[in-house]
Structure 1
Amino acid sequence: MTIADIPGSKSITARALFLAAAAEGTTTLLRPLHSDDTEGFAEGLSALGYRVERQPDAQPQAWTIEGRPGGPAVADAEVYCRDGATTARFLPTLVAAAGRGEYRFDASAQMRRRPVAPLTRALRELGVDVRHEDVEGHHPLTVTAQGVKGGELTLDAGESSQYLTALLMLGPLTAEGLRITVTRLVSEPYVDITTTMMRAFGVEVGRHDTPEGRVYTVPPGGYRAAAYPVEPDASTASYFFAAAAVAGREVTVPGLGRGALQGDLRFVEVLERMGATVRMAGDRTTVTGARSGELRGLTVNMRDISDTMPTLAAIAPFASGPVRIEDVYNTRVKECDRLEACAQNLRSLGIEVATGRDWIEITPGAPRPAEIATHGDHRMVMSFAVTSLRTPGITFDDPGCVRKTFPGFHAAFAALREGWSEGWSEGGIGSGS
């Protein structure tokens, strides 16, 4: 049995850092993700005067965060959010609700291109003074904070569920709570992660459907600290599951099973439809590919698991029929236009691809070696690393961008190859077939 040790979830780590900072008491995070994104979030909290202590030598690794329900310890600060969308969206929301002062947020050129307008419009509706310096709806921005009373909002979260997550987490820090009507929502499982984690920190979020949309009700009252374990990142696990499927091998990811919070674990259901065998226990998931590495084509809606769209696109050439991925417009506003980046890279590998506003269709073929244009996007590297299992010679123009979520990816993937090396030329996977 090949075991893949996947680092902690980026999504869970970021939410836990927000909730811990806002809570009464000291929170311990067990096995948090250590990456550029989460380090950027932690450094942002430190710049705001929150106490974050890392214990990298502890077993398991732990971070402790001293909560400040009254808000940041400083009345003015500048925070650099790096490439992190959660940092760039969650921290301005945290200071808007809990801060008293003026706080400026900037980010990398990549993050500056990504929108935050739906969130900042919502904050303004709640009475928060938010000013964009250069381009409206984008970083850099300044928040002049004096607390938030609360009230009712209507939100379009069809572009990113992070807007809704930020506002939900803000709710308990308001004086009167929030009632949010959501007209459109993408990646709903990420919102479920948020509400489940808020429950662990002492807040129960109400939810019901109306003709106008889904309504979330968040009470005031704040959070209480917790000891919180961070499960492995399901999006990252998708590369190892996909590798087993295309290589005709088996891989087990411990820590991700039936009780997992992350919706992206549903990617294994896609692999199962394509012919892989999936076994899921309470605390682990195992994927076994057909010995030949053969996969079936399919049409799949990936709206709720869109971070795994590049993973599927990268293995689609090895299917027996076309692979069509639908309802993934929001992937166009990630670290790069992922839908178009996948299409361009597949074409450079000699694969026939068609795209539309929110879909991509990939015709099976034999990929040829080429350099992958990563666009600084970690998911381009990790996805097409899976393709390289059957197409030796694939390279990347920026392999180091995996540091965003998994600095040790290349070593871990090399170890996976090494573990499968015995008999690698057998079963149709050894020579780029």
Structure 2
Amino acid sequence: MRISVIGCGYLGAVHASALAELGHDVVGIDVDERKIAALRAGRPPFFEPGLPEILSSAAASGRLRFSTDIADAAGADVHFLAVGTPQTIGGTSADLRYVDAAFEGLLPHLAEGSLIVGKSTVPVGTAARLAARLAKEAPHANLAWNPEFLREGFAVKDTLEPDRLVYGVADERAASVLDQVYRAAIEAGTPRIVTDYATAELVKVAANAFLATKISFINAMSEIADATGADVTALADAIGHDVRIGRRFLNAGVGFGGGCLPKDIRAFTARAEELGRGDSLAFLKEVDAINMRQRQRVVDLAIDVLGGSVFRKKVAVLGVTFKPDSDDVRDSPALDVAVHLKGLGAEVVATDPEGVENARMRHPQLDYTTSAREALTGADLVVLVTEWREYRALDPIETGRLVAERRIIDGRNVLDLHAWRAAGWQVRGLGRP
């Protein structure tokens, strides 16, 4: 099929490349000239495993091109809206100006029978509003909402092999067009849910809200574990055997971050209040508060381990991205911890395999290195806050030879406490005795 993808950020660049890899003829469009130049050269503007390979493959096939001119979307059968919906400045609602601008820009270029498909995470009611406008200004076209469920670090796999497909449509014609787009996934047995606009919009934000709640729940339990001497990891193992609960995402630690979960639960709460149903999602404010509190708990642990003050102590911060296998530092708990420690007078050296440049642009006051060895050398305290594989695999004996003092805070509860303590380390975690 002939497809346009409006917005070539994280979602759009992956989506466009994957659809071209599946055999569609795709044009990706974005107003950012530097981003488009990088994509044309086969260089993703962000780190995502597997993306360089499918980007190069799709471009070499001739099925993928990029442009800064939305007029190049003309003639496409399907137009995907994949622009960002950030949190409004000074508020918690979703900022829809990019969605509205992309929609507005497409209107003059819609062919007979073409389909606009929303991928962006939006407040419930957005699709209905856009559909009403489409019916007035371009009745020859149709609208669907098809939320994305990408995990950073696994986005290529999640696009090529999704765990479900959700279509929010007003009629079956739109669903049949999407079936053609996703034919490979459907033939592979991917579950397909066809529903209305509002439900499709809610699926995405409800999934994020549930995940955030599960993470904050176990983090709240880690606070109780600290107060009682219990082990939150053993607790999670025990309750995780209950099939109604499950063990996944029951890992206590410094909390969640990134460009989706925090802003999406805040926007969901704001939308509920607009609908007069604020009480229904009031609990999400506490979910958010628990999550933010975890960052301060790590800082407090550092102060405690260093005898009441971090002033002029060298602290090696392992990780600045909000999760491993990503260079994304948006709302990163790891970077937040590093900045807080620096503000208290610590000599912070932060390291990360992929996120250093992005972190430096946001917080140039920190000292950075891509070498974990350099960060560790002479450290009075090590704080592990992003669970990159290379940090989880650190040898406690070898690492002990580099540092000034064998003290480590495991902000993700991923280390073998017995092995590290046997090597002479003072180890502190969240909710672990």
Would the TM-score normalized by the shorter structure come out above 0.5? no
TM-score relative to the length of structure 1: 0.32
Higher relative contact order (CA 8 A, sep 6+): 1
TM-score relative to the length of structure 2: 0.32
- Larger CA Rg, structure 1 vs 2: 2
Pick the structure with more strand per residue: 1
